[in-house]
Amino acid sequence: MTLKLNKLSGFSGRKGPLLLVIMDGVGIGKNDESNAVYMAKTPVLDKLFQSRLYTQLKAHGMAVGLPSDADMGNSEVGHNALGAGRVFAQGAKLVDNSIESGKIFQSDLWEKMVARGLKGGTLHFIGLLSDGNVHSNTAHLYALINECAVRGVRCLRVHALLDGRDVGERSALDYIRPTQALLDKISADKDFDYTIASGGGRMVTTMDRYNADWSVVKRGWDAHVKGIGRKFESAEQAVQTYYDEDPGITDQYMNSFVIVDKKGEPNGLIKDGDAVLDYNFRGDRAIEISRAFEEKEFTEFDRGLLPDVLYAGMMQYDGDLKIPANFLVQPPEIDRTISQYLCAEKVKMFAISETQKYGHVTYFWNGNRSGYIDKSLETYVEIPSDKIEFDKAPKMKAEGITEKTIELLKSGDYRFGRLNFANGDMVGHTGVMQAAITAVETVDSCLDRLLKVVKELNGIAVITADHGNSDEMFTVKNGKKSPKTAHTLNPVPFVIVDSGYADEYHMAKVENPGLSNIAGTLLNLLGYENVDYYDDSLITFD
């Protein structure tokens, strides 16, 4: 496939570099005390939001390929849209469609998994137990469970990872109870053996990402596979006990647990002959546990004896590395990303973030592809994240990212750079208002430094966000405040800072502008025409 960009006739960009700054989780919310972005002291953003080259973009729902506008955006689909220049049907929607059509249950893989259950093996489902629709959805899990019951699978186990992040921070029982009720009903009606076997909070059990902390995966492995962990008679008892012992604990940081039978033995060990499905559809927090199940030469932690199981993912979480080898739903095929075009034009560029969002500015930005498109033209920089709760260090690695970005900009080697400040999202997820305020203020301060360097180099900066989070830190119902740790449905800012601006272009009247309109805008700012099949640029030269 030959890719070619055409140059604009009357604009060739600026002498200096183009820098894209993604303020993860910094949306535009209400101007009240629930909004950490509004409450923070942000002199830089305050000024930018008054610019002639400012607008707001949709970053949720159908604007980023999700099933409906009731679905919050997330970093995965946001960075896909940013890098792809158009909207693709994304994980949740693809799984919805596959279940509704029945296609998911017509594959050879599903037949093989069911066959293991019919031959006396157990079917295990591991995943995030919530309807947040960011990593998973309980509706998908229930459809899988019900199909297993119809097909006559007699033994089924759910390994429930608690959310408290994309849904209410202490909402685990709202998902544990109906799940166990469904399992109990099937067991009673059909004389089957369906129940929850293990679980734990997503930030301490199983769902690590970007190799940040493999001990998280090990805790999940120990609980799900080996039955090692604190033991309880039911998942509800486990959650309630943790709540009672620590009134301040939130679901995402809840320790792992193992459910035992009347003899005190783990009720759901993963053994030879079983089948295991990770029912999460989003890839970043499913890759590591998939590696643990699939890799023969595995050195991240001691797994013990690897059980002979058929392992699969809801989707393939890494298309280049083929992780996992088996999966039920095909991921979106995202081709002709902006980075592919820029590499074809020999444009040198860099991408930088800390570990928590490193994969977003590389893997997701590049259309769910690992590695470089052209290593001779690209530089990827990962700043290691702290391994502590982010409200304890809300500045995270923003200053280190800023220092390295300035170094890269001043080198003169790069025409385009992109970075992600994770603070607004990762700290926003903690639900701690003061920490989120500090996080946003840190980003604002770092942005000030970056903009001064871009101006010094006669370049252009574009500032935006991939979705909201810190812009709504709590909700009020019946006069009571409830912390909000999930992403928001709010729009995100978009502003161009061009020190050489002389009315060569203006903000375009784009209908329902979203993140996918940014790629074409970046091409214009670099002096190229937009690609025909990309969504409209946010600027016009007429």
- 441-476 pLDDT, tens digit per residue, is 999 999 999 999 999 999 999 999 999 999 999 988
For the chain, residues with pLDDT lower than 70 are 1, 319-320
- Asked if 425 and 25 touch (Cβ cutoff 8 Å), the reply is yes
How confident is the model at residue 320, as a pLDDT? 61
How confident is the model at residue 329, as a pLDDT? 94
How confident is the model at residue 1, as a pLDDT? 66
Tokens standing for residue 511: 């209908």
Q: At what angle do helices 433-456 and 398-410 cross, to 10 degrees?
A: 10
Binning the chain into helix, strand and coil, the percentages to the nearest 5 are 35, 20, 45
Q: What is the C-alpha to C-alpha distance for residues 165 and 328, in angstroms, rounded to an integer?
A: 26
Tokens standing for residue 183: 């399992």
Amino acid (1-letter code) at residue 72: M
Q: Which of 34, 75, 136, 385 is catalytic?
A: 75
- 224-281 pLDDT, tens digit per residue, is 999 999 999 999 999 999 999 999 999 999 999 999 999 999 999 999 999 999 999 9
Look up the CATH architecture of domain 92-329: 3-Layer(aba) Sandwich (3.40)
- Asked if 195 and 268 touch (Cβ cutoff 8 Å), the reply is yes
Q: Which superfamily does CATH assign the domain made up of 22-86+334-540 to?
A: Alkaline Phosphatase, subunit A (3.40.720.10)
Q: What is the C-alpha to C-alpha distance for residues 241 and 515, in angstroms, rounded to an integer?
A: 43
Instruction: State pTM to two decimals.
Output: 0.79
Q: How does DSSP classify residue 478?
A: T
Q: What is the C-alpha to C-alpha distance for residues 274 and 155, in angstroms, rounded to an integer?
A: 10
Instruction: Answer yes or no: 75 catalytic.
Output: yes
Q: What is the C-alpha to C-alpha distance for residues 117 and 111, in angstroms, rounded to an integer?
A: 10
User: Which residue, chain included where needed, has tokens 């039920």?
Assistant: 328
Same fold: 22-86+334-540 with 92-329: no
The residue extents of the domains of the chain are 22-86+334-540, 92-329
Q: How does DSSP classify residue 111?
A: H
**54-57 vs 123-128, strand pairing mode:** unpaired
- Asked if 499 and 458 touch (Cβ cutoff 8 Å), the reply is yes
Q: What is the C-alpha to C-alpha distance for residues 207 and 433, in angstroms, rounded to an integer?
A: 25
Instruction: Say whether 17 sits in a helix, a strand or coil.
Output: coil
How confident is the model at residue 84, as a pLDDT? 98
Instruction: Give the residue ranges of DSSP H helices in 385-525.
Output: 398-410, 423-426, 433-456, 518-525
